[in-house]
A and B are shown apart, each in its own frame.
Chain A
């Protein structure tokens, strides 16, 4: 069975600093991998996804993630944090499709300090 582990339930950075949110997955078949963001009192929103092809995936709001099969990782990065990036971020995996049977990690809350 597939699973996702997010390292660090809370991450704090200064505005302008590098954002790095860690995600490791477990899957016996090639996975679909996702990062979702959840702002307070809002639904989850897709940031980016990996299906096949290029391992460096660019998403919205300047975020990107790299699929590393050898490390079973899909870490999320952004070169320069903005105050508006403060939110909860979820990594997810599926072995079925972009929308079905998603298994989510426990989330990482990102705080951005001025």
Chain B
């Protein structure tokens, strides 16, 4: 079974630039999550989709972060403009039923 795919693996940008991350969940998984993992901290949920609808985006900084899940499959997370404190690993996860599957993440460095 293929896992959750994320790209790019690494991204380095300067502050105030824009960046986008892509996630392809496991086939058939209706629920998709984006987490932010800052160095030294545990993952923090940014947004949760059920199919192509947003279930929870209470912790998403909406002034600079946006996410979409077209056709209920792939998802993109965008940051515009980036700040230094956005440096983190961005994890995508998907679930079907009782188990959560994580991708290996995109490591973002904002200089």
Interface set of A (CB-CB < 8 Å, partner B): 4, 9, 41-46, 90, 92, 97-107
Q: How many residues of B contact A (CB 8 A)?
A: 23
Q: Using A43-B4, A43-B105 as known contacts, say yes or no to A104 and B43 having CB atoms under 8 A apart.
A: yes
Q: Using A43-B3, A99-B95 as known contacts, say yes or no to A104 and B44 having CB atoms under 8 A apart.
A: yes
* Distance to closest chain B CB from A43 (angstroms): 3
Q: Using A43-B91, A44-B91 as known contacts, say yes or no to A99 and B45 having CB atoms under 8 A apart.
A: no
- Check A102–B100 contact: CB distance below 8 A: yes
- Check B42–A106 contact: CB distance below 8 A: yes
- Check B41–A106 contact: CB distance below 8 A: yes
- Check A46–B99 contact: CB distance below 8 A: yes
Which of B31, B41, B56, B104 contacts A43 (CB under 8 A)?
B104
* Distance to closest chain A CB from B58 (angstroms): 9
Within 78-111 of B, Cβ neighbours of A (below 8 Å) are at 91, 93, 95, 98-105
Distance of A46 Cα from B102 Cα, bound (Å):
9
- Check A41–B104 contact: CB distance below 8 A: yes
- B-chain residues with CB within 8 Å of residue A106 when the two chains form the complex: 40-42
- B-chain residues with CB within 8 Å of residue A90 when the two chains form the complex: 42-43
* Distance to closest chain B CB from A60 (angstroms): 12
Which of B40, B45, B55, B102 contacts A44 (CB under 8 A)?
B102
